[in-house]
Amino acid sequence: MSSLRERWPPQGLQQSSFHRYLTGIPLEHFRQPTSAVFLVIGRVFISTVDIPRTLTVDRIIYGVGGVSAGNVRLAIYGPIVPVLGAPPDLPDGSDLVVESASVAQAAANVNQVVTIANTLLNRGLYAIGIQGDDVTGTITRIFDSATNFPRHFNIGAYAAFPDPCPVTIAQASSPRFILRVVP
């Protein structure tokens, strides 16, 4: 596992055989961000991630778009438990596993690394969410509902993440997240 640390930062991880463990997306389905979306105060944008084995993560990485403004919070919900008759990717009702502190957005057009507490994730499907406190701030996104199951929910204000995850709404694109695995 020490070789993982040698391949840091995230840009180098995309070629790693360990890539799937960090993003939840098989490398053959991985797409670079295609555009950016403005943050909406009180809206949490979500992407799902498949954790194929038990592992510990300590960072969430996301792409800052062309405009950097305000603060963001990130969180992980899960594991997602399928509900009879509902799509298998709905995080609705999933427990809040961990959330970050509020951090200022990094410079525009970079991958921002956000620290979270060391968090043990068991095998399963999880949802990663991001929210911002400034409507001019942007995050990168991909148009790929086949692998990321994009969703969002509204909480009305920039605040702590609710526990459990509220009812989510489908959307056409999703933020791209990368999880850093603790070696």
Band the pLDDT of 10: cuts 50, 70, 90: very low
Cβ 161 vs Cβ 168: under 8 Å: no
pLDDT tens digits along 107-149: 998 889 999 999 999 999 899 999 999 999 999 887 654 555 6
Q: Does residue 183 surpass a pLDDT of 80?
A: no
Looking at domain 2-181, its CATH architecture is: Sandwich (2.60)
Q: What is the pLDDT of residue 175?
A: 83
Average pLDDT over residues 21-45: 64
Q: What is the pLDDT of residue 70?
A: 95
Lowest mean pLDDT among 17-31, 62-76, 77-91: 17-31
The domain spans of the chain are 2-181
DSSP 35-60: EEEE--TTEEEEEEEEE-S-EEEEEE
The DSSP element (H or E) to which 119 belongs, if any, is strand 111-121
In angstroms, how far is the first alpha carbon of the chain from the final one?
A: 5
CA distance 19 to 150: 20
Q: Give, in order, the Cα–Cα distances in Å from 90 to each of 16, 69, 87, 143.
A: 29, 30, 6, 18
Torsion (CA) 95, 100, 103, 105 in degrees, nearest 10: -60
Band the pLDDT of 158: cuts 50, 70, 90: very high
Q: What is the pLDDT of residue 33?
A: 55
What's the burial of 65, exposed, middle or buried (CB within 10 Å: 0-12/13-18/19+)? buried
pLDDT tens digits along 46-83: 988 888 889 999 999 998 988 999 999 999 999 998 77
To the nearest whole percent, how much of the chain has pLDDT over 70?
A: 76
Q: Report the mean per-residue pLDDT for the chain.
A: 79
Q: Give, in order, the Cα–Cα distances in Å from 63 to each of 52, 66, 123.
A: 23, 10, 25
Question: Which residues lie closer than 8 Å to 178 by C-beta, 6 or more apart?
Answer: 10, 13, 22, 23, 60, 61, 62, 111
The DSSP element (H or E) to which 73 belongs, if any, is strand 71-77
Q: What is the pLDDT of residue 32?
A: 58
Q: Facing residues of 94 across strands?
A: none
